[in-house]
Amino acid sequence: MKIAIIDDDLYFLNNIEKKIKQYSRNLFNISIDTFTSCSLLFSKKYDIYFLDIDMLSSNGIDIAKKIKSTNSLAKIIFITSHVDLVFSAITIQPFYFIRKTNLDKDLSIAFTLLEDCYIEKEYYKFKYNSEIVSILIDDILYLETSDHLTTIYTNLNQYHIYKSLKDIQEEIHSQNLIQINRKTIINILHISFDKKNTVTLDNKKTFKIGRTFKKNFNDAFSTFIFKGE
């Protein structure tokens, strides 16, 4: 899950970043980018935006409109020290409001709502470096095994686990994870190109499809495509 925080108060920006990391711990696997202006904000898309409504050089409401125009599924959480601005921001249909004067309480509520929002999504939870990690199964790009070590790849991280490819596939139990050769399982959701005996994911990585796995892959991919029609 990718989070952007936009606020021109650097002290507050650093403070809320620390708190977001605390509240998201054990709930979501996140990466955070922080911005004091919107000049570089639109070079990437994010899942959640914590956005100050009233910045000195920018209008938070206008920024939110631009975000929504190119990223309609994004969740906008407005930050404000001026409660009267809440009413003018409602037209954007934000996910929630954070009052700077009530930061901890409002952040707690926001993350409770975010957890409820994503609760229907399927996660894979496992112990990693003495902590419980929870990753969204849809975010998994592929799994690759070598010498009894299986690596789970997402856009954000890599996780090296001493389990077999088969064991992890059975634990995750997702129809979208398809084995394409002896060492690799890919997530159908991230296929960008399929040609004969190779498949390319949206991170530009290309894999060979093994002969014995070809029919199963074709059947699964066809079912996935027609299901979305």
Domains and CATH numbers, the chain: 2-118 (3.40.50.2300), 123-227 (2.40.50.1020)
Question: Residue 87: pLDDT above 80?
Answer: no
Predicted pLDDT of residue 85: 63
What's the rounded Cα separation, in Å, for the pair 15 and 184? 41
- 31-36: list long-range contacts, CB under 8 Å, 24+ apart: 31/1, 31/2, 31/3, 31/156, 32/3, 32/4, 32/5, 33/2, 33/3, 33/4, 33/5, 34/4, 34/5, 34/6, 34/7, 35/4, 35/5, 35/6, 35/7, 36/6, 36/7, 36/8, 36/10
Interhelix angle 103-118/10-24, nearest 10 degrees: 40
Give the mean model confidence (pLDDT) for residues 139-144. 94
Question: Residue 82: pLDDT above 80?
Answer: no
Question: Residue 134 — very low, low, confident or very high, per pLDDT cuts 50/70/90?
Answer: confident
Predicted pLDDT of residue 226: 65
Give the mean model confidence (pLDDT) for residues 136-157. 91
Using one digit for the tens of pLDDT, what is the confidence trace for 180-194? 999 999 999 899 888
Question: Residue 90 — very low, low, confident or very high, per pLDDT cuts 50/70/90?
Answer: confident
Using one digit for the tens of pLDDT, what is the confidence trace for 25-63? 877 778 899 999 888 898 888 889 999 988 767 788 889
Q: What is the mean pLDDT of the chain?
A: 87
Of residues 229 and 111, more confidence is placed in 111
Of residues 214 and 92, more confidence is placed in 214
Of residues 87 and 57, more confidence is placed in 57
Which residue, among 131, 128, 134, 214, has the nearest Cα to 178 in the 3D structure?
A: 214
Using one digit for the tens of pLDDT, what is the confidence trace for 196-229? 889 999 888 999 999 999 999 988 888 877 654 4
The proportion of the chain whose per-residue pLDDT surpasses 70, expressed as a percent, equals 93
Question: Residue 7: pLDDT above 80?
Answer: yes
